[in-house]
Amino acid sequence: MSSKKEEILKVFQFQIIDFNRMIEEILEISLIKKMNRNKYIETNARFIYLLSLFERFMGNFNQYLISTNKPVRDRYIQMFESLCDEEIKKLKNSKEWKSYYNRPSKMIKDYAILEKKKNGLVILRSILKDSVDFKEKQLDQRLKYYYEARARRNLLAHRGREPDKIYFEDLEQNNINANLRSRIYRRGLYSTPTNPKGFLGNNGSEELVKNNADNLIDLSITPGYLCRVCEDIIYITQCLLMDINDKDIDIDLHRFIKKGIKNKNKILLSLCYNLFARKISKYHGGKIVKLKIEDKVNFLLLYEHLVKEKIVKKKIDHQKVIDSISDDEHFSAIHLKSLLNDYFKKDKESFYKNTKKLTNKFKNEKNNFKDWLIFQRYMRYKEFKDLFRIN
């Protein structure tokens, strides 16, 4: 890999990590049990910020692909040239647009010009049409959920809480029919409208109008709805990363699995499972053993938790998956295999001994090991915490 591509990759990998961390923080909204005015304002603000984050991620993603993938770059140049043709037909003074012809580097540099005219998702769908099946049922549905969220964001940010003609026109443009709208509204609506006299309509009046799918008067953001939109965005981004077939960029569900277990968020955990199932089915012939080592470990730990919570019933042969890990797959592969065996046997003593061997051998990696999902079960014990202490 050239030094230039290495630098581009490094920047985009950091952008992915930052994006995922932000979504994790927004998902903390799932812990809210009782709303007050401050929480209400915070929830709406987080929603607007989330949509901005996703739009920024799409822009970063597009620019990474344009810079590192020649077929994508060629499609992007064609798209930019088509825009130039359109603008030249419309404008009398077209010198600025003519200046782009035969200058691909200028088109790439001025990505923001095309994004302003077309928006990031339109560009993404165009440049990835040969890599991603946007009509795939689950991905198509998640995108429609996102389109509704975007229409709602525009409503709340610019026109108010009550859905208007523009909001419904946006839904119609994106083929969001009445059945899908009904499912979206079941994700979370305040039972009574918010109002300036009292939070959530609690002003002592007996004449409050109910806010529901049949009588929408307030599309303010509830914690439940915000969590579902977060999960839609996680699903969309992870599918895109999965489908571009870039050996340097892949799905990473580790932090979301940890967050789901910590917050007892069964929907998030089921989402992670569905993403793994998609990857195993679509890219590994239905065989778990063909996953890379990080995915094998995370999938096994996730699956064990899903069985424990009775979210899935069928047990898998975890020993077969552990045995499929090659010693040269990862610097810690030999130790990981031992730890996994101890983990599933619930052998705390042996797990401790093997953890100690790992931390002693790779002292410089202790800070990274501490965050690994496999260690979370025992991190409440002092002796395990001591192993990860950096002197």
Q: What are 25-68's pLDDT values in tens digits?
A: 888 887 777 778 888 898 999 999 999 999 999 999 999 999 99
- How confident is the prediction for the chain on average, in pLDDT? 90
Q: Give residue 195's pLDDT band: very low, low, confident or very high (50, 70, 90).
A: low
What's this model's pTM, rounded to 2 decimal places? Answer: 0.91
Between these two residues, 214 and 269, which has the higher pLDDT value? 269
Cα–Cα distance, 294 to 328 (Å, whole number): 13
Give the CA distances from residue 45 to residues 157, 216, 221, in Å, rounded to whole numbers and listed in that order.
10, 21, 9
Question: What's phi and psi for 198, nearest 5 deg?
Answer: -170, 140
How would you classify residue 220: left for phi > 0, otherwise alpha for psi between -120 and 50, otherwise beta? beta
Contact 217, 193 (CB under 8 A): yes
Mean pLDDT of the 351-378 span: 91
Paired with 195 in beta bridges are 198
Give the start-to-end residue ranges of the domains of the chain.
3-225, 254-387
Flag whether pLDDT at 1 surpasses 70: no
Cα–Cα distance, 155 to 157 (Å, whole number): 6
* pLDDT value for 198: 47
Contact 229, 47 (CB under 8 A): yes
